[in-house]
Amino acid sequence: MKKFKKRRSSRRMGSGLTLIVIFVGLGLLGYSLWSEAAPVLQAYMAPKESPAPADSNTTMELTVPKMDLEGIEVRSTPVSDSSALDTGAQHVEGTSFPWEEGANTYIAGHRIGYPGTDSYLVFYDLDALENGDEVILTDADGMKYTYAVFTSFIVGPSDYEVTQPVPGKSVVSLQTCTLPDYSERLIVQAELVEVSGEESQAQYQYDS
């Protein structure tokens, strides 16, 4: 009888430890999802509102060959309006457009995003970009702006200086959250090297 009770007690202890490990793991997962403004939780817990109609004058398409991204919709919305993030990527309103001289075109995208939309894992591989990799923006008039990556770095969520112009360059800045806890922001910047399109033969070539 004593042996039976000892085995039973050991099993209870083992089961208790297993439950603790499971709960801790679920807690960490929940924290990481919630830290990215809870986009994944919202996708499953509540109906997602339809995004506002795109402004055809400011909507762009983003292509990043290294990341297998092609024609991702980029809508211009205020930083407080995440509706553009929910379906593609967001051009932060108030930052420059690629057709402006000395621009820092600032574009944010989810690391996880919503399954079933172009926001899902849109910038998950942003950290894979290396110097020289292409980033391409196409505007509503069909003008194509080709950039070459020249730097990447991590900043805090309140470091708004990264949205400011970069002296002597026209750039696009791509932003997403860091892994695994989404506490900081990964920034990749690429410099404009070429502009081409049906309506213009102008091309801008900058020394790297």
* Residues whose CB falls within 8 Å of the CB of residue 153, separated by 6 or more in sequence, listed in order: 186, 187
pLDDT recorded at residue 184: 95
pLDDT recorded at residue 198: 58
The answer to whether 119 touches 88, Cβ cutoff 8 Å, is: yes
CA angle 139, 94, 83 (to 5 degrees): 70
Residue boundaries of the structural domains of the chain: 2-34, 60-196
pLDDT recorded at residue 34: 35
**Secondary structure of residue 164 in the 3-state scheme:** coil
Residues 91 and 15: their CA atoms lie apart, in Å, by 50
115 residue type, one letter = P
The answer to whether 139 touches 99, Cβ cutoff 8 Å, is: yes
Taking only the tens of pLDDT, the chain with its 208 residues reads: 433 333 334 433 444 443 333 333 333 333 333 344 333 222 222 233 333 444 557 899 999 999 999 999 999 999 889 899 998 999 999 999 999 999 999 999 999 999 999 999 999 999 999 999 999 999 999 999 999 999 999 999 889 999 999 999 999 999 999 999 999 999 999 999 999 985 544 444 444 4
For the full predicted model, state whether its pTM sits above 0.85: no
Residues 185 and 79: their CA atoms lie apart, in Å, by 15
Phi, psi at residue 21, to the nearest 5°?
-60, -40
Pairing of strands 144-155, 171-177: unpaired
> Does domain 60-196 fall into CATH 3.40.605.10?
no
Give the chain's radius of gyration (CA, Å). Answer: 22
Residues 66 and 194: their CA atoms lie apart, in Å, by 18
In 3D space, the residue among 37, 195, 169 whose CA is nearest the CA of residue 102 turns out to be 169
**Tokens (6 digits) for 111:** 């690391």
